[in-house]
Chains A and B, each alone.
Chain A
Amino acid sequence: MAKAIEIKRLNKWFGAYQALKDIDLNVSHGERIVICGPSGSGKSTLIRCINSLEHHDSGEITVDDIELNQNKASIAAIGAEVGMVFQQFNLFPHLSVLQNLTLGPTKVRGLSRSEAEERAMRILERVQIPEQAHKQPSELSGGQQQRVAIARSLCMEPKIMLFDEPTSALDPEMIAEVLDVIVDLAEDGMTMIVVTHEMGFARRAADRMVFMDKGEIIEMGAPKDFFEAPKTKRCKTFLNQILQH
């Protein structure tokens, strides 16, 4: 069976700065990957390359057998399969929660308004905020906003979800409610890559840990081995630093 995502020798530069160095990463269907590493290590850049928010300079990215190139058709085809959740939520502030959720399905998938609203309500139930459907995003707490953002992605019925530090902008008491939703998705078999520093969540949900530093994948492995017996010094130092708190 083909891999969900195959990345080969991926390189990315921002001017003279090399953000990604020869990245190789394969993700199976249904696999949950957590990427961690110090800031500036290229974690976000890597997942932003997968849904072409950044263009890679060399190497190959294949999503569900579709090769990503500068061709608009491949970008759209891959975009249709990949959902993304941002650190800053990026909800559309001028639209209600329900409208945020139905915009993509009605304009891109061609669903009727009632079909799209029905789907949106079903997904809002799933992220446990159906009662917020008719509010504006600005009326919600950070945790609720992020759950709406997850729901907005799910409304497009993606096969793969990318999470770019989904809890980093949240107050501590709201982190759990967002992580619960992500764990729920993971248990449902969604293929996902999560960039996060939440190591408790990683232990609970990840099939595989990826540690990145300075644009390279330094270490990769099952959470148990990764946390209990990190092989590299850099990884050990990093884990010590963030697990101390």
Chain B
Amino acid sequence: MTIRTFSILFLCLLLAGCSSSGTWGWYVIDPTTKQGYNNIRFLLNGFGATILLSIIAAVLSMCIGLIVALPGMSHNRWLRMPSRIYIEFIRAIPLLPMLFWVFYGLPVVLKSMGINANIDAFWGAIITLAISDSAFTAEIYRSGIQSINKGQTEAAKTIGLNYSQTMRYVILPQAIKRILPPLANQFIYIVKMSAFASVIGMQELTRRANELVVTEYRPLEIYTLLILEYLVLVLIISFGVRWLERKMGADESK
């Protein structure tokens, strides 16, 4: 459905470009010409960085999110409070200022602590995306874990499982099924937000498009292609997640 809609939209744009020359100039990314071919290669080369950045950030975000979420559900308010503060605080910081803070500010902080660390654009972007997203991931975990019937925890307790065993073998495997759709949403969010990494010089999809626009002066075609590049990535994730959901749902309904 989505694919059909978007391909029709894309075809319309393409046709519009062909008929009324002067507004569209697809030659910049026409693979049959040498210049167009080189331009396309230049743009597509950003895929690797965007994908790697997104995957590492998403994995980190899922780990940090779990570490933050678990004490947040404790009966002990001194365990609960740091988790709440982290979530409220991180959630309130817009991504771009946070990215600047991490990239330009964090090295200064580290230096004052005697650590001479140079944070490059790649890791600066990953740290920012992971931390920013982890506040949301933590809330997703919390809702997922709390949606599991209390009887499950009690049953686990009566067969002697301790807290971490209960989480690992009983609660999380059930919760993960329920939170897969919102986690996938967060992953898509990370892929799109990774475009911000372009402003600190990370050579990913958006940065490359920006650079090409500066030399070619064809923003319409290049940014159109850029949007389609993200669309492809996001659709692949959507299909992947739906496949995973079907696979996981299959043994439950069996």
Contact = CB atoms under 8 A, between A and B. Distances in A.
- A and B from one assembly? yes
Interface of A: 51, 53, 76, 79-80, 82-84, 86, 88, 90-94, 103-104, 107-109, 136, 138-139, 149, 152-153, 155-156
Name the prevailing secondary structure of the B interface residues: helix
Interface string B195-207: 0000000000000
Nearest to B173: A94
B234 interface: no
Interface of B: 149, 151-152, 154-162, 165, 169-170, 173-174, 177, 251-254
B154 A103 contact: no
Nearest to B254: A136
Contacts of A80: 160
Given A92-B170, A94-B173, A103-B169, A83 B161 contact: no
Given A53-B154, A86-B151, A90-B154, A136 B252 contact: yes
A93 B149 CA distance: 11
A164 B155 CA distance: 12
A84 B158 contact: yes
B152 A107 contact: no
Nearest to A96: B251
10 smallest CB-CB distances across A and B, nearest first, come from A104-B159, A90-B155, A108-B160, A90-B151, A84-B158, A94-B173, A94-B174, A107-B165, A88-B151, A156-B159
Contacts of B157: 51, 53, 79
Given A90-B152, A92-B170, A149-B155, 15 more contacts: A79-B160, A86-B155, A92-B152, A92-B169, A93-B174, A94-B177, A94-B252, A103-B169, A103-B170, A104-B161, A108-B165, A136-B251, A136-B252, A152-B159, A153-B158
11 contacts: A53-B157, A76-B162, A79-B158, A92-B169, A93-B252, A94-B173, A104-B160, A107-B165, A108-B159, A138-B252, A153-B158
B158 A83 contact: yes
Contacts of A152: 155, 159
Given A91-B155, A92-B155, A156 B160 contact: yes
Given A86-B151, A94-B173, A138-B252, A53 B158 contact: yes
Nearest to B169: A103
Nearest to B253: A138
A153 B159 CA distance: 7
A86 B157 CA distance: 12
Contacts of A79: 157-158, 160
A86 B161 contact: no
Nearest to A48: B154
A82 B158 CA distance: 8
B161 A108 contact: yes
Contacts of B158: 51, 53, 79, 82-84, 153
A90 to B, nearest CB: 4
A180 to B, nearest CB: 22
B186 to A, nearest CB: 23
A216 B107 CA distance: 66
B179 to A, nearest CB: 14
Nearest to B150: A90
Nearest to B158: A84
Contacts of A139: 254
B241 to A, nearest CB: 19
Q: Which of A94, A108, A109, A136 has the most CB of B within 10 A?
A: A94
Contacts of B252: 93-94, 136, 138
Contacts of A153: 158-159
Contacts of A93: 174, 252
Nearest to A82: B158
B155 A107 contact: no
Contacts of B156: 92
Contacts of B160: 76, 79-80, 104, 108-109, 156
Nearest to A85: B158
